Structure 1
Amino acid sequence: MSKTEKRQVPPALKQVLRFDEEVTKRFVLWANKFLPLRSLRIHYKALEITCHGIPWFAFWIAFTWLFNNSSLVQMQVNMLIGLFLDIIFIAVAKAYFRRRRPVANTDDALGQIGPDVFSFPSGHASRAVFVAYFFINLYQLPVLCVPPLIAWVTAICLSRILMNRHYILDVVGGICFGLIVAWIISFIWLDADAANYLMSFLSDDKIDGGDYHV
């Protein structure tokens, strides 16, 4: 195949994508007409930052290094592995599918990095679903934390569409990817000894109170 030759999209898939674009456009117009969402655009941006891959990864690494308590290490390490898998899966998928973002989208500096210029699947939706699944099913937080987590995930997914960052199918795809990453982590879940060993191997400092502390 010539380098200048564009990849051909199957006719059936073209129809699905066009339908997705039309439904997304109508949904955004409806939402902006009947709900006071246009005036709340600043909150969309705040939601976007709370689930962006770069801040999440940087924050979690800092959290893991600063709070190296043995009671937290298992959760920290498994979450870090999940975040890493999520970033890799989404980057590979976006680079492969290369679906352009909605025409109405206005990218920022972070949205111009690498495969993030593409639309499918939504990395924000994937990350939000994985994080919520992690803290609801794998490392259970108190039940009072569940409603805010569900509300956050829902707000993230809706805001990606209403900001014209993604089409509806992009968000659905992101949700599926997030569940896949969560299931992988549940399958390979590191126990406390393995997590402490991995942390002690990667760090010059030993875990306080851990089996490998010296």
Structure 2
Amino acid sequence: MSTSVFRRNSCRGGSCGARTSAEGNRRRSSSCFAPGAQAEDFSVSLNQPIVSIALRFFLAIDLWLSKRLGVCSCEEAAWGSIRPLVRLVEFSGHVAPWLFGAVYTLLRGETTEEQEIMLNLTLALLLDLMMVRLLKRLVRRRMPAQNRSDILSTFFVEKYSFPSGHATRAALCARFLMAQLVDTYSMRVLVLGWASLVSLSRLLLARHYVTDVCFGLAMGYCQYGLVEQLWVSWDCLQDVLLLKAVVQVRSMWTGL
């Protein structure tokens, strides 16, 4: 009888331990979600059109895959220990250092060719920034619930997710550098690797969904084609500035 009581107690203790560990794992996984975040509803009905059902199924896969990839969404996540390193990669694709570097090189450039390239890179970054902002305002897709705000996001508040600005910028800058500045195979591999890591960091940190990043990469790749078509040469810029100066002088002379 004592043996059966001991076995019952041990089983009861084992089940309690398993329940406690399961609750701890559940609490640890849910701690990465923002307070008050609600799960998206992808329920379907047979009365809905086939296109709507297919779209909901596609979005459900996108949500599931994005959650599985967000392994650095917070310190308690599966790969939370490398979160600072991933955030460093994320910062390398932010618009602030790229825009500051392009403007600084433009002002301190030693040759007209270098200044012309930096001028068009600056214009390309501004074009990318405006187009991404416009699309985000139009689509208004909320960021993933796993997203954790950091110091950088406090100064650059982002509410919408589609498309990923980091992904568009990574693809745009990678294609720009390979077309204008990079001429060796090793540097091309390095640039492509950087663009891939920046895009992957958006998924690891749960900043964006998979579709946000994929569309952003395609958008940034196509943006360079527009920049190439609207390329501003240094001679054209000087002509525009000279014409503007002439118009100002003429208006001043007429006013006198």
User: Equivalents in 1 of 2:152, 2:136: separation in Å?
Assistant: 15
| TM-score, normalised with respect to structure 1 | 0.76
User: Equivalents in 2 of 1:198, 1:66: separation in Å?
Assistant: 21
Query: What count of residue pairs does the alignment treat as equivalent?
Result: 187
User: Equivalents in 1 of 2:243, 2:142: separation in Å?
Assistant: 41
Aligned residue in 2 for 1:166: 208
Instruction: Show CA shifts across 1:93-121 (max 9, x none).
Output: 11111111111101235435677321110
User: Equivalents in 1 of 2:218, 2:157: separation in Å?
Assistant: 19
Q: Which moved more, 1:141-150 or 1:118-127?
A: 141-150
Which AA in structure 2 matches 1:151? G
Give the secondary structure class of the aligned counterpart of 2:113.
helix
- Deviation of 1:196 after TM superposition, in Å, equals 5.0
Instruction: Show CA shifts across 1:27-59 (max 9, x none).
Output: 445xxxxxx954221111111111111332233
- Deviation of 1:200 after TM superposition, in Å, equals 8.0
Q: Which moved more, 1:192-201 or 1:145-154?
A: 192-201
Q: Which moved more, 1:104-113 or 1:148-157?
A: 104-113
User: Equivalents in 2 of 1:116, 1:72: separation in Å?
Assistant: 33
Matching of residues 90-109 of structure 1 within 5 Å: 90-109=132-151
User: Equivalents in 2 of 1:68, 1:167: separation in Å?
Assistant: 42
Give identity over the alignment, percent: 26
- Deviation of 1:82 after TM superposition, in Å, equals 0.6
For the pair shown, which has the larger CA radius of gyration, 1 or 2? 2
Matching of residues 134-149 of structure 1 within 5 Å: 134-137=176-179, 139-143=180-184, 144-149=186-191
Give the secondary structure class of the aligned counterpart of 1:99.
coil
Instruction: Report 1 or 2 for greater relative contact order, CA contacts < 8 Å, sequence distance ≥ 6.
Output: 1
Question: What are the ranges of 5 or more consecutive residues in structure 1 without an aligned counterpart?
Answer: 1-9, 30-35, 203-214
Contact 2:69 2:206 in 1 (8 A): no
Contact 2:164 2:216 in 1 (8 A): yes
Q: Which moved more, 1:123-132 or 1:54-63?
A: 54-63
Aligned residue in 1 for 2:41: none
Aligned residue in 1 for 2:174: 132
